[in-house]
């Protein structure tokens, strides 16, 4: 920290807590309390109960959680493959061509997600590629939205990667594919796991584009949370949000362990 006196450090930490706690931690804490409550007559929810959480862990909510996990996992894998492939290809391009590639992959991030959903809906609602009303269009939308983050993460890691390792492997007779699989990708594994975690978390919480595309047979959990709160079932929605948050954090912790092991290899 750039401040050296104890009083200045305490002041900085106090200001940091005043900003972080109300904006980031307090809303999540209120959601957690509301998930175990039946009423809200004071400053915080009250009336402790486990009914909301037990309801969120069964029936249609559990199926919606399965749909969200399947969508996020599939979209993350696809985004990681596409983003890594594009980043490796862009790494060998000239500066102007690489800027064009960056713009191409960052376009879905530069526009609102509802625009991406509408674009996919319009583009794939007519033959020969008719995806409207299928689960494929939901997974495609999530893949389009998160691929940019995978591409950026891998591109940033490639710029920091020492080319000496690949050059030494090539000088020893290793073919380009072997250099890629045995040298470059293993060195990129920490960044790949971080990118996978980011893609998964973003996909698990995606709502705007999903609302425009989801078929009745493929209902992700964020849509059920929105529907519950929209009809006034705040505590049921909070319980579902708590389940969604717990499932996302569990997967992120697993990916974090993979990243830690890869970093120490």
Judged by DSSP in three states, 42 sits in coil
What pLDDT shows up at residue 60?
86
- Per-position pLDDT tens, the chain of length 265: 566 678 888 888 888 888 887 788 888 888 888 889 888 777 777 778 888 888 888 888 889 999 999 999 999 999 999 999 999 999 888 888 888 888 988 888 888 999 999 999 999 988 888 888 899 999 999 999 999 999 999 999 988 888 888 888 888 888 888 888 888 888 888 889 889 999 999 999 999 999 999 998 899 999 999 999 999 888 999 999 999 999 999 999 988 887 777 666 6
Residues 6+ apart with CB under 8 A from 128: none
What pLDDT shows up at residue 145? 94
Check residue 223 and give its pLDDT. 94
Distance CA 182, CA 176 (A): 10
Terminal-to-terminal C-alpha distance of the chain: 30
DSSP, res 134: S
pLDDT for the residue 28: 87
β-sheet bridge partners, residue 39: 46
Its sign, for the CA torsion 129, 133, 136, 138, is positive
The whole-angstrom separation of Cα 192 and Cα 111 is 25
Q: 192: which 2 tokens?
A: 């790949």
**Cβ burial 180-191 (10 Å sphere, 16+ → b, else e):** beebbeebbbbb
Write out the two tokens for 228: 């519950």
pTM for this entry: 0.86
């Amino acid at each position: 920290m750039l401040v050296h006196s104890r009083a200045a450090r305490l002041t900085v930490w106090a200001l940091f807590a005043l900003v972080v706690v109300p904006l980031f931690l307090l809303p999540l804490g209120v959601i957690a309390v509301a998930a175990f409550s039946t009423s809200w007559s004071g400053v915080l929810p009250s009336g402790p109960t486990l009914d909301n959480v037990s309801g969120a862990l069964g029936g249609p909510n559990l199926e919606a959680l399965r749909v969200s996990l399947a969508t996020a996992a599939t979209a993350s894998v696809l985004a990681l493959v596409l983003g890594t492939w594009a980043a490796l290809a862009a790494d060998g391009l000239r500066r102007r061509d690489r800027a064009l590639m960056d713009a191409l992959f960052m376009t879905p991030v530069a526009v609102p997600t509802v625009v991406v959903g509408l674009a996919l809906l319009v583009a794939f609602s007519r033959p020969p590629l008719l995806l409207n009303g299928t689960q494929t269009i939901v997974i495609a939308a999530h893949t389009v939205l998160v691929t940019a983050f995978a591409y950026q993460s891998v591109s940033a890691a490639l710029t920091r990667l020492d080319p000496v390792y690949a050059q030494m492997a090539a000088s020893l007779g290793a073919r380009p594919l072997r250099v890629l699989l045995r040298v470059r990708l293993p060195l990129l594994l920490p960044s790949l796991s971080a990118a996978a975690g980011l893609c998964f978390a973003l996909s698990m919480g995606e709502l705007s584009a999903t609302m425009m595309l989801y078929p009745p047979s493929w209902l992700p959990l964020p849509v059920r949370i929105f529907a519950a709160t929209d009809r006034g079932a705040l505590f049921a929605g909070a319980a579902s949000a708590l389940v969604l948050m717990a499932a996302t954090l569990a997967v992120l912790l697993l990916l974090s362990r993979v990243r830690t092991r890869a970093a120490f290899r």
